[in-house]
Amino acid sequence: MKKLDQYTSLCKLSHAEIRDNNLLFRQLVTNGQFYCKKCGRVANKKSNLCQPSPLEVEKDTD
């Protein structure tokens, strides 16, 4: 099983690897600022994704 660290690409992780490294995974995705254009995963650093793009939240106009 792969051990996650702060430099891990989240895009290539299996469900088992996420489950086994749950605490670090949650730290890497909390307050996500980027999403991967290939798989749709979200991370707070673009270095954790293989095809990062800024995650822009539309403002409510009400």
d(CA 47, CA 56): 17
The string of DSSP letters for 4-50 reads P-TT--GGG--HHHHHHTHHHHHHHHTT--EEETTT--EESSGGGSS
Q: Which pLDDT score, from 0 to 100, does residue 5 have? A: 75
What would you measure as the largest C-alpha separation in the chain, in angstroms?
48
pTM of the model: 0.77
Average per-residue pLDDT for the chain:
87
Residue pLDDT tens, the chain, 62 long: 566 777 788 998 889 988 998 898 999 999 999 999 999 999 999 999 999 999 986 666 66
Q: Which pLDDT score, from 0 to 100, does residue 7 have? A: 77
